[in-house]
């Protein structure tokens, strides 16, 4: 599989011999030099939901575990798969140079599915540039970063998704609001005021349902996380994994184990269960004293989701900018230009001074 993966990622153009790369928004590989295009054959099978408990016992000893070439960033810890002839050898997160001689082979659970990039780099740069131009007091270096073609990278980010049947029995209390009239003292004497009270009654029962696609970011990173604002993908567009979709992009390997991802997914399942319980109790407010939550028929997938990102250092601080590679949603942290704010303040002071002089 290792040799197959590398050969597919570095597939050459049948027309001119140049490297073929995945064309976002399509199911094709494209040659940037002569325009030759090659379709990615679509498998007739659907991606698999893998049975979780069995897999936790045998992971590392089955057909789904393969090897991949990885470069580890010694600055921020990101594990990145980079093609042999990929032009940039900088970490996509912190821009630290990566040394090709440090490539290590590691086992990974082969992705079951991915959401292919829908935006190409040209469109992503335009979105990023518009975002930068729309923020106030941005330093000139930030504006230059928006125009830097090497400063924006396409990255497939690893996620675990978990499905299960959820059953929960609970005991709690239902609260219904009612109002009492109380007299309060004011400057003009006593006046009535409505005071909210809660009437509590015992509640118990069971809730059940299917929990679909609990999404857990499978990459543990230092000082960086995919912002919640852009971390929404339409998972109905998941496509059966084919390594050809990775051509031209960086792929990050998960650093959160399947076991840890499952543990985190249970916390999200618990939040969902409590939401169902509160709805089942009804009333205006609820108290949950005890809830016995059980998950069954658990399955999981390892999926890759598309993100464009840019990062740079400004006065010793690291800043990151993210674009959802499917939807175009953008988010990022930004520095402020002290001098732009300073000169604006001087201008405002000067304007008020002139107004005061003319007023006199």
∠ CA(162), CA(167), CA(171), 5° rounding? 130
If pLDDT is split at 50, 70 and 90, which confidence band does 1 have?
very low
Spatial distance between the Cα atoms of 209 and 240, rounded to a whole number of angstroms: 27
Q: Residue 151: inside a domain, yes or no?
A: yes
DSSP at 253? P
DSSP at 97? B
Q: Residue 20: inside a domain, yes or no?
A: no
Spatial distance between the Cα atoms of 217 and 4, rounded to a whole number of angstroms: 27
Lowest mean pLDDT among 4-13, 148-157, 240-249, 302-311: 4-13
Q: Residue 18: inside a domain, yes or no?
A: no
If pLDDT is split at 50, 70 and 90, which confidence band does 331 have?
confident
If pLDDT is split at 50, 70 and 90, which confidence band does 148 have?
low
- pLDDT, residue 253, reads 85
Q: Residue 286: inside a domain, yes or no?
A: yes
If pLDDT is split at 50, 70 and 90, which confidence band does 7 have?
very low
- pLDDT, residue 48, reads 58
Where do the DSSP E strands lie in the chain? 20-23, 28-31, 37-39, 50-51, 65-72, 79-81, 104-109, 113-114, 153-186, 189-217, 239-240, 250-252, 285-314, 317-324, 330-332
Q: Give the residue from 160, 117, 193, 135 showing the smallest Cα distance to 266.
A: 160
- Count up the domains in the chain and report the number: 1
Q: Residue 72: inside a domain, yes or no?
A: yes
Cα-to-chain-centroid distance, residue 329: 11
Q: What is the mean pLDDT of residues 229-239?
A: 90
Q: Residue 13: inside a domain, yes or no?
A: no
- pLDDT, residue 63, reads 42
Tracing tokens 């821009």 back to the chain, one arrives at 95
> Which stretches within 94-164 are classed as H helix?
121-133, 140-147
When comparing pLDDT for 246 and 49, which is higher? 246
* DSSP, residue by residue, 224-238: ----TTT----GGG-
Q: What is the mean pLDDT of residues 296-319?
A: 82
- pLDDT, residue 106, reads 73
Spatial distance between the Cα atoms of 135 and 118, rounded to a whole number of angstroms: 25
Q: pLDDT tens for residues 64-114?
A: 456 777 777 777 777 777 655 454 467 777 777 777 667 777 777 888 899
Q: What is the mean pLDDT of residues 162-180?
A: 95
Q: Does the structure show a pLDDT above 50 at 60?
A: no
- pLDDT, residue 196, reads 92
When comparing pLDDT for 72 and 57, which is higher? 72
Q: Does the structure show a pLDDT above 50 at 118?
A: yes
Q: Residue 38: inside a domain, yes or no?
A: no
If pLDDT is split at 50, 70 and 90, which confidence band does 324 have?
very high
Q: What is the mean pLDDT of residues 22-33?
A: 82
Q: pLDDT tens for residues 185-217?
A: 888 888 888 889 999 999 999 999 999 989 999
The chain-wide mean pLDDT, for the chain, equals 79
If pLDDT is split at 50, 70 and 90, which confidence band does 8 have?
very low
Task: Tell me the residue range of the domain where 145 lies.
Answer: 50-173+202-349
Q: pLDDT tens for residues 282-296?
A: 999 999 999 999 999
Q: Note whether 318 and 335 are within 8 A (CB).
A: no
Spatial distance between the Cα atoms of 47 and 112, rounded to a whole number of angstroms: 6
213's tokens: 């696609």
Q: Residue 358: inside a domain, yes or no?
A: no
Spatial distance between the Cα atoms of 155 and 80, rounded to a whole number of angstroms: 9
When comparing pLDDT for 345 and 21, which is higher? 21
Q: Does the structure show a pLDDT above 70 at 224?
A: no
Lowest mean pLDDT among 14-18, 39-43, 342-346: 342-346
If pLDDT is split at 50, 70 and 90, which confidence band does 4 have?
very low
Spatial distance between the Cα atoms of 233 and 238, rounded to a whole number of angstroms: 9
């Amino acid at each position: 599989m290792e040799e197959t993966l590398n050969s597919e990622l570095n597939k050459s153009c049948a027309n001119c011999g140049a490297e073929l790369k995945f064309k976002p928004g399509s199911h094709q590989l494209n040659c940037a030099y002569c325009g030759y295009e090659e379709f990615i054959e679509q498998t007739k099978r659907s991606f698999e939901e893998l049975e979780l408990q069995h897999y936790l016992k045998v992971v590392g000893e089955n057909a789904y575990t393969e090897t991949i070439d990885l470069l580890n960033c010694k600055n921020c810890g990101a594990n990145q798969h980079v093609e042999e002839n990929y032009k940039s050898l900088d970490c996509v997160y912190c821009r630290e140079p990566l040394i090709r001689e440090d490539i290590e082979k590691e086992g990974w659970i082969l992705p079951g599915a991915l959401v292919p990039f829908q935006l190409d780099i040209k469109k992503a740069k335009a979105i990023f540039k518009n975002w930068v131009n729309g923020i106030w007091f941005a330093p000139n270096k930030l504006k230059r970063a928006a125009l830097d073609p090497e400063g924006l990278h396409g990255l497939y980010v690893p996620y675990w998704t978990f499905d299960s049947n959820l059953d929960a029995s609970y005991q709690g209390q239902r609260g219904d609001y009612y109002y009492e009239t109380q007299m309060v003292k004011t400057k003009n004497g006593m006046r009535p005021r409505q005071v909210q009270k809660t009437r509590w009654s015992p509640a118990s029962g069971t809730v059940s349902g299917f929990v679909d696609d609990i999404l857990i970011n499978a990459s543990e990173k230092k000082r960086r996380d995919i912002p919640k604002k852009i971390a929404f993908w339409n998972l109905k567009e998941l496509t059966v994994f084919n390594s050809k979709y990775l051509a031209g992009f960086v792929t990050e390997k998960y650093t959160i184990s399947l076991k840890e991802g499952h543990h985190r997914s249970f916390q999200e399942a618990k939040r969902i269960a409590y939401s169902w319980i509160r709805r089942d109790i009804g009333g205006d407010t609820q108290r949950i004293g005890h809830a016995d939550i059980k998950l069954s028929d658990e399955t999981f997938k390892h999926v890759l989701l598309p993100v464009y990102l840019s990062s740079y250092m400004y006065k010793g601080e690291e800043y990151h900018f993210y674009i959802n590679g499917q939807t175009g949603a953008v988010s990022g942290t930004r520095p402020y230009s002290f001098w732009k704010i300073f000169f604006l303040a001087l201008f405002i002071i000067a304007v008020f001074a002139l107004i005061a002089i003319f007023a006199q």
